[in-house]
Amino acid sequence: MTMPESRRYKIKGKKVLFREKRHCIHSKLVKEKQGNRELKCSQSSQLQNTNCAATIHLRLKLCNIELSHPLEVNLRFTHNHDGHSPASAMYDYEDALYLSAMDEQELLVLLADRMTNPNYDYIAKLFYKYREMALGDHNGTSMFKRLEEVVNDYNNSGHGKTILQEYDSCTGKAFILCVVINLMNQVHERVLQSGELCYIDASASFEPLNTSITLLYISCMVGALPLGLFITSDESEITLEKALNLLKTILPQHAFFGCESQVGPKVFLTDDSSAERNALELCWPEDKDSL
């Protein structure tokens, strides 16, 4: 349990049988309760006081009529931090064991018992099993099904637009995900440089699938500002051309400071990549200079 008890209410009447409130381990209440007690790991997540406001309020009521759900749980899921990795979860749990032990002998018994203190391999397997159930495999049908749900939710959120092409080895379709957020729309509309010079930069080796992330951006007085991005399973000319054409479909009407998505900016500046330059010439053939 990574949400310690904040308060247990005294039961006065006969209607409420149980009531308590719990808070996130990153709440300032944790540090107040720990005081000056030293933790086993100096980099423990318990030290990361982010003033997280997430809480759980539990209340079990006794009702005169028969109900299917007599327990009321109020979740305030307002975390302001990332969740645990297998390693941080293990360190946090071991810290809790250290704090709960009355003496050193009890602590040794708790740490030696795999029923109460599982090793890292066991925790990692639980983590990967949970991730597979929640997000799907790294590269499988369930992953793309989950990604499609995320894309639909994002498109309905009003925060921007995105478009997905699923990977299909049988037909030779590459994986492509294009994203244009509202900030990018504002840059297209309001920043003059978006219609003049556009930089294209691709980076890879960020995760096990080695997908490529390509960013379109401009340079202005405040620094670099994004115009759009796409993620692809490879960096071939055919894939880049398809990705750029998909990106054009979700660009705003005032793209490239009014030049529109079909015309594009005056100049593109790319890496030393013939695939990128050829794809740009195919997508924006009218009077475009690629450097």
Q: Which of 6, 118, 106 is nearest to 53 (CA)?
A: 6
Q: Which of 104, 135, 166 is the last residue of a domain?
A: 135
Q: 127: domain range?
A: 5-135
Domain's final residue, options 112, 135, 158 = 135
Q: Which of 87, 107, 135 is the last residue of a domain?
A: 135
Does 189 share its domain with 283? Answer: yes
148 and 271 in a single domain? The answer is yes
- Is residue 52 domain-shared with residue 125, that is, in the same domain? yes
pLDDT in tens, 140-177: 777 888 889 999 999 999 999 999 998 888 888 899 99
* Domain match, 186 and 223 both: yes
Q: CA 245 to CA 27: how far, in whole Å? A: 46
Element (H, E) at 255: helix 255-258
pLDDT in tens, 225-238: 999 999 999 999 99
- pLDDT digits (tens), the chain, 291 positions: 567 777 777 777 677 778 888 888 777 776 666 565 555 555 544 456 677 878 888 877 776 656 666 676 777 766 666 677 888 888 888 888 888 888 889 989 999 999 999 999 999 999 888 887 776 677 677 788 888 999 999 999 999 999 999 888 888 889 999 999 999 999 999 999 999 999 999 988 777 778 899 999 999 988 999 999 999 999 999 999 999 999 999 999 999 999 888 888 999 998 888 999 999 999 988 755 566
| Amino acid letter, residue 132 | E
pLDDT in tens, 97-112: 888 888 889 989 999 9
Residues 65 and 162 in one domain: no
- Same domain for 271 and 164? yes
Number of structural domains, the chain?
A: 2
Residues 272 and 170 in one domain: yes
Q: How far is CA 154 from CA 130, 175, 237, 249, in A?
A: 23, 18, 28, 16
Rounded Cα gap, residues 25 and 5, in angstroms: 10
Scanning 158-223, the segments in alpha helix (DSSP H) are 182-190
